[in-house]
């Protein structure tokens, strides 16, 4: 890692092992992006050069590859920063003041030509990962407040046109579906306005021209943020491509008072010549080694049981203990009681906010269940949805003023619930207090933190009217603050992020939660597509996947148990079915699959992922490789045209080494070179056929 400043060229070069990022000042003092890509060993060859003024219709500032474009002067492109000052001026002229290099962090500071606004751009190349972290900070050094209307985290430039962007699209129970499309002239926006990241798109970008799974140049960046985001792709009429990403400026305003500063969320960005696969492996690596919460990052995730699909709200101590007994016999290591254990929670109409044990369901409190689960050799986990309240709850009756709402309007309920105003310190205090009691009074090893509706009518009536459009960001910061505080107080507890399934899958949560509940869709086939989209940016260790009942609750599809297991074994395995209804044969088969998973889970959870084939082609084939060991899962939807023999070329092995390939008990030895050039042949006849192959270095 190196940060270099070339004084004579007024140029910055930030380099990792294989990549460099360069920018410098032009003759007018405008900061111009120069290079992002392969490592540059002679940065002095670059220079910001001469920009000139352009013309009245095509001003140079609009064409220039600016590092962080302010809104001001003759700029008509999408800006990164837009403010209005107390005297009504809405124009920025950032002038370079200084830069500092402190260890691996570069900061470049600008001050407005007249107003006491300071803008600081931060850059850090993350050692050993070739991932660049970027964010910005705005400081009010004056005596009057000013308002920030837009503050993106970063701007990126890509030479020319002809780029494609890849992201995911979806909705509840259908998240993370990968798509790739060409970027044409004009602006394209991917965003959330729902208060959370949402189920619709990911807060990250991927750009390529003609990359494939394992070849070609891919650029990418992930916003470390869990709220309203906005990514703008702009192909300018001048033939250049830009990406700007950050907090969504929709309904956003932040009043920055004297002495205050505003820091944007960070973006983690990188580029690779190894296609989408190398991109994902790079992002998985940094997640596993640096980003995920440190306390549990290195731990193998236990096999989990979750009660939701078995009992929904019909939770009783006896019923849960019965499930726990069966789960333990199958080899489950962590038993989680989902919704329905608290307050008057007999349906989704009541109880949210009342985080005390329902005494009808648990006459002697939670202790008999927790103790029972522990006696069975499992850890105990519990579900909560702390940001929400049902109007039919003690909390709401006591504090109807604790929700987001606008004056003279009835707040809209979603899933019969309202959103608590986390910008009110008393609310945050209540949540920390009530969850702290729960976690200190019981031996709880795991918390599933849910969020089942979007934020709407975001009126935080406790804030002065001029501050109320800051709610979107304040809510996320308060949510982070509460989780951080609980993690600090209860470091042993593992936290799972859930928002009606995968409604808050982002790097903000990845850095605070140990895993995601990926989707409420537990159909093993649909999951293959959902899991593939998820895997673009996020690691298998953080992806919970359950085996549930058939016919599936969502689409009534029936899929063999073995296939359901294979689908879920590609992440952190869980079971979520109504075990009372499972036959002795099914339980026995499940116990065998769980035992098998325990043998290979370190490879899945900590290995390098190769997407050999995607379910879109009819075959999902994923390979995980971890120092001398490899596992391949192959699942089809159904055999077609009598093609039941499927050749599969492997990846990530050592050509010169010999491996034992074990396909369902049939074992043979081959060299890594052979397995990667010629491959293995799988026999997958009929519908919903699946197989797990183990490859072990001799
Ligand atoms: C939505 C989650 O995604 C489900 O797994 C379950 O926890 C329910 N909420 C409970 O209400």
239-282 pLDDT, tens per residue?
999 999 999 999 999 999 999 999 999 999 999 999 999 999 99
pLDDT mean across residues, the chain: 97
Q: What is the mean pLDDT of residues 57-70?
A: 96
DSSP string, 159-178: SSS--EEEEEE--TTS--EE
Q: Is there a single domain that holds both residue 441 and residue 503?
A: yes
Residue 183 lies in a domain: yes
Residue 532 has pLDDT above 90, yes or no: yes
Decide if 391 is inside a domain. no
Last residue of a domain, one of 604, 628, 660: 604
Query: What CA–CA distance (Å, rounded) separates 172 from 192?
Result: 14
Same domain, 595 and 647: no
450 tagged catalytic: yes
Residues 537 and 676 in one domain: no
Would residue 62 show up in a list of annotated catalytic residues for this protein? no
User: 449 CB less than 6 Å from ligand 1?
Assistant: no
Q: In the chain, how many domains are there? A: 3
Is residue 661 assigned to a domain? yes
d(Cα 435, Cα 354) in Å, to the nearest integer? Answer: 11
Which residue of 198, 342, 447, 452 sits with most ligand 1 atoms within 8 Å of its CB, as the best mutation to test the pocket? 452
Calpha distance 544→574 (Å, rounded): 7
Residue 21 and residue 655: Cα distance in Å, rounded? 34
Based on the domain organization, do 332 and 200 belong to the same domain? no
Which residues span the domain enclosing 665? 613-697
What integer is the mean pLDDT of 526-545? 98
CA of 450 to the centre of ligand 1 (A): 7
Judge whether 395 lies within some domain.
no
Residue 650 resides in a domain: yes
What stretch of H or E contains 208?
strand 204-208
Instruction: Verify that 232 and 90 share a domain, yes or no.
Output: yes
Residue 174 forms part of a structural domain: yes
Determine phi and psi for 461, rounding to 5 degrees.
Answer: -70, -10
Q: What is the mean pLDDT of residues 341-361?
A: 98
Query: Does ligand 1 lie within 6 Å of residue 175's CB atom?
Result: no
Q: Is the pLDDT of residue 1 over 90?
A: no
452 lines ligand 1 (CB under 6 A): yes
pTM of the model: 0.97
Q: Are residues 90 and 191 in the same domain?
A: yes
DSSP summary character for residue 315: -
Tell me how far the alpha carbon of residue 540 lies from the centroid of ligand 1, in angstroms. 20
Distance 401 CA to ligand 1 centre (A): 26
- The tokens for 189 are 């926006």
Q: Is 520 in the pocket of ligand 1 (CB under 6 A)?
A: yes
- What's the pLDDT tens digit per position in 271-324? 999 999 999 999 999 999 999 999 999 999 999 999 999 999 999 999 999 999
**Bridge partners for 40 per DSSP:** none
Kindly state if the Cβ of 574 falls inside 6 Å of ligand 1. Answer: no
| pLDDT at residue 4 is higher than 90 | yes
The residue whose CA has the least distance to atom 10 of ligand 1 is: 339
Residue to mutate, 198, 312, 498, 577, ligand 1, most ligand atoms under 8 Å from C-beta:
498
The per-residue pLDDT for range 179-218, each reduced to its tens digit, is 999 999 999 999 999 999 999 999 999 999 999 999 999 9
Planar angle of CA 251, 254, 255, nearest 5 degrees: 135
Q: Is the omega angle on the peptide bond into residue 551 within 30 degrees of 0, that is, cis?
A: yes
Contacts of 529 (CB under 8 A, 6+ apart): 176, 177, 178, 614, 615, 616
Could you read off the pLDDT of 72-123 as tens digits, one per residue?
999 999 999 999 999 999 999 999 999 999 999 999 999 999 999 999 999 9
pLDDT (tens digit per residue) in 148-161: 999 999 999 999 99
pLDDT single digits (tens) 652-662: 999 999 999 99
Where is the domain boundary, 291, 326, 354? 291
Provide the pLDDT for residue 642: 86
Measured from the CA of 308, which atom of ligand 1 is nearest? 6
- Spatial CA neighbour of 234 closest among 15, 78, 457: 78
Active-site pick, 354, 450, 526, 549: 450
Please report, in angstroms and rounded to a whole number, the separation of the first and last CA atoms in the chain: 36
Expressed in angstroms and rounded, the spacing between residue 385 Cα and the centre of ligand 1 is 9
Last residue of a domain, one of 245, 270, 291: 291
Q: Give the whole-number percent of the chain exceeding pLDDT 90.
A: 98
The verdict on residue 470 lying in a domain is no
Q: Are 577 and 548 in contact (CB under 8 A)?
A: yes
Residues 253 and 336 both lie in one domain: no
pLDDT at 434: 98
State which H helix or E strand residue 375 sits in: helix 367-375
Q: Residue 178: what pLDDT?
A: 97
Q: Are residues 105 and 240 in the same domain?
A: yes
Is 49 inside a domain boundary? no
Shared domain for 600 and 617, answered yes or no, is no
**Closest ligand 1 atom to 338 CA:** 7
- Which residue puts its alpha carbon closest to atom 11 of ligand 1? 339
pLDDT at 50: 84
Cβ 624 vs Cβ 609: under 8 Å: yes
383-392 mean pLDDT: 98
Minimum-distance ligand 1 atom for the alpha carbon of 520:
3
- Residue 341: CB within 6 Å of ligand 1? no
Q: How far is the CA of 448 from the centre of ligand 1 (A)?
A: 9
Distance in Å, CA 57 to ligand 1 centroid: 54
**Whether residues 600 and 620 fall in one domain:** no
The CATH number assigned to the domain holding 142 equals 2.70.98.60
Examine the domain organization and report whether 307 and 283 are in the same domain: no
Kindly state whether residues 254 and 335 are assigned to the same domain: no
Instruction: Please tell me which residue in 130, 354, 520, 523 is annotated as part of the active site.
Output: 520
Mutate to test the pocket of ligand 1, among 305, 384, 500, 544 (most ligand atoms within 8 A of CB): 500
Instruction: Give pLDDT tens digits for 125-145.
Output: 998 999 999 999 999 999 999
């Amino acid at each position: 890692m190196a940060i270099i400043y070339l004084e004579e060229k007024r140029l910055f070069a930030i380099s990792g092992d294989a990549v460099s990022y360069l920018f410098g000042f032009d003759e007018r003092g405008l900061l111009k992006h120069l290079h992002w890509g392969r490592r540059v060993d002679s940065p002095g060859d670059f220079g910001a050069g001469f920009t000139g003024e352009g013309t009245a219709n095509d001003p140079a500032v609009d064409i220039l590859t600016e590092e962080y474009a302010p809104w001001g002067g003759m700029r008509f492109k999408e800006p990164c920063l837009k403010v209005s000052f107390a005297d009504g001026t809405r124009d920025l002229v950032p002038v370079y003041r200084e830069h500092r290099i402190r260890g691996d962090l570069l900061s470049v500071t600008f001050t407005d030509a007249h107003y006491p606004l300071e803008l600081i751009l931060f850059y850090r190349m993350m050692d050993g990962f070739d991932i660049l972290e970027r964010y910005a900070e705005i400081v009010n050094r004056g005596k009057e407040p000013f308002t920030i209307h837009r503050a993106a985290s970063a701007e990126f430039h890509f030479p020319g046109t002809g780029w494609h962007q890849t992201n995911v699209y979806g909705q509840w129970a259908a998240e993370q579906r990968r798509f790739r499309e060409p970027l044409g002239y004009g602006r394209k926006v991917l965003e959330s306005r729902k208060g959370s990241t949402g189920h619709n798109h990911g807060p990250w970008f991927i750009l390529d021209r003609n990359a494939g799974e394992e070849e070609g140049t891919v650029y990418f960046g992930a916003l470390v943020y869990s709220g309203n985001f906005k990514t703008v792709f702009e192909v300018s009429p001048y033939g250049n491509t830009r990406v700007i990403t950050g907090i969504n400026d929709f309904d956003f305003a932040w009043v920055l008072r004297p002495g205050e500063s505003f820091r944007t969320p960070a973006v983690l960005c990188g580029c690779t010549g190894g296609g989408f696969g190398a991109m994902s492996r790079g992002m998985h690596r940094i997640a596993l080694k640096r980003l995920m919460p440190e306390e549990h990052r290195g731990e193998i995730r236990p096999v989990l049981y979750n009660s939701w699909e078995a009992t929904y709200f019909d939770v009783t101590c006896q019923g849960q203990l019965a499930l726990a007994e069966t789960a333990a016999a199958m080899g489950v290591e962590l038993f989680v009681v989902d919704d329905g254990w608290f307050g008057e929670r007999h349906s989704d109409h009541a109880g949210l906010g009342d985080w005390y044990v329902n005494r009808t369901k648990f006459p002697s409190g939670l202790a008999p269940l927790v103790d029972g689960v522990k006696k069975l050799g499992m850890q105990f986990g519990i579900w909560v949805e702390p940001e929400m309240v049902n109007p039919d709850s003690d909390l709401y009756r006591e504090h109807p003023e604790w929700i987001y709402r606008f004056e003279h309007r009835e707040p809209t309920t979603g899933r019969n619930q309202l959103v608590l105003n986390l910008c009110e310190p008393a609310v945050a205090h209540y949540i920390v207090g009530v969850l702290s009691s729960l976690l200190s009074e019981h031996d709880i090893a795991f918390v599933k933190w849910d969020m089942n509706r979007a934020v709407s009518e975001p009126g935080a009536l406790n804030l002065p009217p001029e501050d109320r459009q800051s709610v979107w960001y304040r809510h996320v910061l308060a949510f982070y603050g509460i989780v951080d505080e609980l993690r600090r107080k209860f470091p042993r507890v593992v936290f799972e992020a859930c928002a009606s399934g995968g409604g808050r899958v982002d790097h903000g949560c990845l850095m605070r939660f140990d895993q995601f509940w990926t989707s409420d869709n537990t159909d093993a086939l649909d999951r293959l597509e959902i899991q593939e989209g998820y895997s673009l940016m996020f690691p298998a260790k953080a992806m919970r996947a359950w085996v549930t009942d058939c016919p599936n609750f969502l689409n009534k599809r029936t899929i063999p148990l073995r296939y359901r297991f294979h689908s879920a074994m590609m992440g952190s395995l869980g079971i979520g079915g109504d075990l009372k209804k499972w036959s002795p044969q099914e339980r026995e088969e499940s116990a065998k699959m769980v035992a098998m998973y325990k043998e290979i889970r370190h490879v899945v959870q900590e290995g390098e992922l190769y997407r050999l084939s995607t379910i879109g082609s009819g075959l999902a084939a994923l390979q995980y490789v971890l120092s001398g060991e490899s596992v391949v899962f192959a699942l089809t939807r159904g055999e077609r045209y009598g093609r039941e023999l499927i050749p599969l070329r492997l990846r990530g092995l050592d050509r010169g080494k010999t491996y034992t390939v074990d396909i369902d008990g049939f074992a043979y030895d081959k060299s890594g070179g052979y397995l990667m050039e010629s491959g293995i042949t799988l026999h997958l006849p009929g519908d919903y056929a699946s197989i797990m192959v183990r490859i072990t270095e001799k």
